[in-house]
Amino acid sequence: MKLSAVLLRVADPKQLTDFYMDVLGMTARAQGANYRIGYGGQDADLLLMPGGGGYAHDGGQRYWKIGITVPDVDLAVSHLREKGVEVSEPKQFRDIGYMCHLKDPEGFVIELLQHDFQGNRSDKAADPAAPFAKACIGQITLRTGDIAAEDAFWRAQGMRLLSVQDVAQYGFDLHFYAFTDDVPPNPDLWSVENREWLWKRLYTTLEFQHIAGAQFAPAPDYRGLEVQGLSTSLRDAFGDPVRPG
């Protein structure tokens, strides 16, 4: 089993594909009217579908963001700014990770997350001429008010919980699931020790931003997830589609 794609409905799949290729170093192939774009490794793709437009990042909606993990966030930010892309200043967010944020041309949020915490990165972690050469789509982030329901659904599909991260200052916690046999270095899944390990995984994790009891609305341009190895289409705990890859 593999988390193989997140499905997003967009106004102009070809134009948005060009952005991800030219700016973020992804590769692409057409699938009918859709475009499948990604980094070509074990991680998930983005499947861009026509029929969207007018997307607004909304804190009340189920869909939140994708995360791209990179060896050197500072190099990636320099590259993006040279391309004229607006991106936030990188910072170490608590004991979670060294990160920054941007939006693609249609407004979908992208988080850049470094493999190592601030101050722990090797001087030669990345090639300055190719800052996205070792990038992957590390996270697909959804929001939930009922982590028990999400946990039951995804464990039933074969996912494993790899990390839980407390962000109580902001009123939520984070839960990361993946189709893997990997075992985190510390058996305490709340441990900070597991986080840099997690950011170095080559596959995509499904991240839930959990706000206990919160209610979220469907995001019209989020069309669900694709799972390679799934035999039939399902609906997840929220009711969004999960389709075979």
Q: Note the pTM of the prediction, 2 decimals.
A: 0.97
CATH number attached to the domain at 2-244? 3.10.180.10
Strands in the chain per DSSP E:
2-10, 27-31, 34-38, 45-50, 63-70, 91-93, 97-103, 109-114, 136-144, 160-167, 172-178, 205-210, 222-228, 234-235, 241-244
What's residue 53's pLDDT?
87
Would you kindly state where each structural domain of the chain is located, as residue ranges?
2-244
Q: Closest Cα partner for 240 from 103, 230, 221?
A: 221
What's residue 54's pLDDT?
85
Q: Are the CB atoms for 59 and 65 separated by under 8 Å?
A: no
pLDDT tens string, the chain, 245 residues long: the values are 999 999 999 999 999 999 999 999 999 999 999 999 999 999 999 999 999 988 999 999 999 999 999 999 999 999 999 999 999 999 999 999 999 999 999 999 999 999 999 999 999 999 999 999 999 999 999 999 999 999 999 999 999 999 999 999 999 999 999 999 999 999 999 999 999 999 999 999 999 999 999 999 999 999 999 999 999 999 999 999 999 99
What's residue 8's pLDDT?
98
CA dist 112 and 103 (Å) reads 11
